[in-house]
């Protein structure tokens, strides 16, 4: 008999598998080249037991989005292509 938690864990595993299937050897996800597609992905990959995929994601992020000041931006003048809401 399945516990209430099992369907949630199954969905999480499918989500992680899907995300990894979109990641190329360098760590890029498809043709996506916006910092928004990367900065939140490393942690869930890592806690899902996928440290290699998480490391590829972080390495790609550092190589393509990290500024000299240590911030992550698409370019010197654009943080990301998305919008931000202050909470």
Count of domains observed in the chain: 1
pLDDT tens across 7-20, in order? Answer: 999 999 999 999 99
* DSSP-assigned letters across all residues of 2-47: --THHHHHHHHHHHHHHHHHTB-TTS-BTT---GGGTTTTHHHHHH
This prediction's pTM: 0.79
82 inside domain: no
76 inside domain: no
pLDDT value for 61: 92
42 inside domain: yes
72 inside domain: no
pLDDT > 70 fraction of the chain, expressed in percent and rounded: 91
Least confident of 11-20, 52-61, 73-82: 73-82
Q: What is the residue range of 37's domain?
A: 5-65
pLDDT value for 83: 55
Residue 14: Cβ-neighbour burial (10 angstroms; 0-12, 13-18, 19+): exposed
81 inside domain: no
15 inside domain: yes
13 inside domain: yes
Q: What is the mean pLDDT of residues 40-68?
A: 92
49 inside domain: yes
């Amino acid at each position: 008999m399945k516990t209430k938690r099992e369907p949630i864990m199954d969905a999480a595993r499918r989500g992680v598998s899907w995300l990894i299937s979109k990641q190329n050897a360098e760590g890029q996800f498809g043709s996506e080249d916006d910092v928004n597609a990367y900065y939140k992905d490393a942690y869930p990959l890592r806690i899902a037991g996928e440290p290699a995929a998480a490391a590829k994601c972080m390495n790609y992020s550092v190589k393509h989005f990290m500024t000299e000041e240590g911030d992550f931006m698409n370019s010197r003048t654009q943080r990301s292509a998305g919008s931000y809401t202050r909470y």
